[in-house]
Chain A
Amino acid sequence: MDTQTTSPATNDTVVKTRGLRKSFGEGHVVLDGIDLEVKTSENLVLLGRSGSGKSVIIKCIAGLIEPDEGEIFLFGEPVSGISNDEMNKYRIRLGFLFQNSALYDSMTVRENLKFPLKRHHPVLPSDEIRKRIEESLESVGLPETIDLMPSELSGGMCKRIALARTIIMKPDIILYDEPTTGLDTITAREISELIVSIQQSTKCASIIITHDIACAKLTSDRLLILQDGKIGAEGSFDELSESKEPWVKAFFN
Chain B
Amino acid sequence: MFIQIRSGLSNAGDFIQFTGRFFKEVLRPPYEFKEFIRQCFSIGNRSLPLVAITGFIMGLVLTIQTRPTLAAFGAESWLPGMVSLSLIREISPVITALICAGKISSGIAAELGSMKVTEQIDAMEVSGADPFKYLVITRVLATTFMIPLLVVFADCIGIYGGYLGMNMQSGITLFRYVAKVFEALSFSDIIPATLKTFLFGFFIGMIGSHKGYTASSGTESVGKAATSAVVAASLIIFIIDMMAVQLTSLLT
Chain A positions near chain B (C-beta within 8 angstroms): 59, 62-64, 84, 88, 91-92, 94-96, 98-106, 115-116, 119-120
Contacts and interface: CB of A to CB of B under 8 A. Distances in A.
Nearest to B128: A119
A64 to B, nearest CB: 5
Nearest to B120: A102
Contacts of B128: 88, 91-92, 116, 119-120
B158 to A, nearest CB: 33
Interface string B119-131: 1101111111110
Contacts of A59: 122
Interface in B128-153: 128-130
A106 B38 CA distance: 11
B126 A96 contact: yes
B126 A100 contact: no
A100 B119 contact: yes
Contact of B114 (A88, A101, A105, A116): A105
Contacts of B129: 115, 119
Contacts, number: 51
15 contacts: A59-B122, A64-B125, A88-B128, A95-B126, A98-B123, A100-B118, A101-B118, A102-B122, A103-B120, A104-B123, A104-B124, A105-B114, A105-B118, A115-B127, A119-B127
Interface residues of B, number: 15
Given A59-B122, A98-B123, A102-B122, 14 more contacts: A62-B126, A63-B125, A84-B130, A88-B128, A91-B126, A91-B128, A102-B118, A104-B115, A105-B114, A105-B115, A105-B120, A106-B111, A116-B128, A120-B127
Nearest to A115: B127
* Interface of A: prevailing SS: loop
B219 to A, nearest CB: 11
Contacts of B118: 100-102, 105
A116 B122 contact: no
Contacts of A100: 118-119
Of B114, B124, B125, chain A has the most CB atoms within 10 Å of the CB of B125
B19 to A, nearest CB: 20
A120 B115 CA distance: 21
Closest 10 CB pairs of A and B: A116-B127, A119-B128, A102-B123, A102-B119, A98-B119, A96-B126, A120-B128, A88-B128, A119-B129, A102-B120
Nearest to A122: B30
A64 B120 CA distance: 12
Contacts of B130: 84
Interface in B83-131: 111, 114-115, 118-120, 122-130
Contacts of A84: 125, 130
B137 to A, nearest CB: 15
Contacts of B114: 105
A103 to B, nearest CB: 8
Contact of B122 (A98, A103, A106): A98
Contacts of A62: 126
A129 B229 CA distance: 39
A161 to B, nearest CB: 12
Contacts of B119: 98-100, 102
Contacts of A102: 118-120, 122-123
A84 B134 CA distance: 14
Contacts of A95: 126
B38 to A, nearest CB: 9
Contacts of B124: 104, 115
A98 B217 CA distance: 14
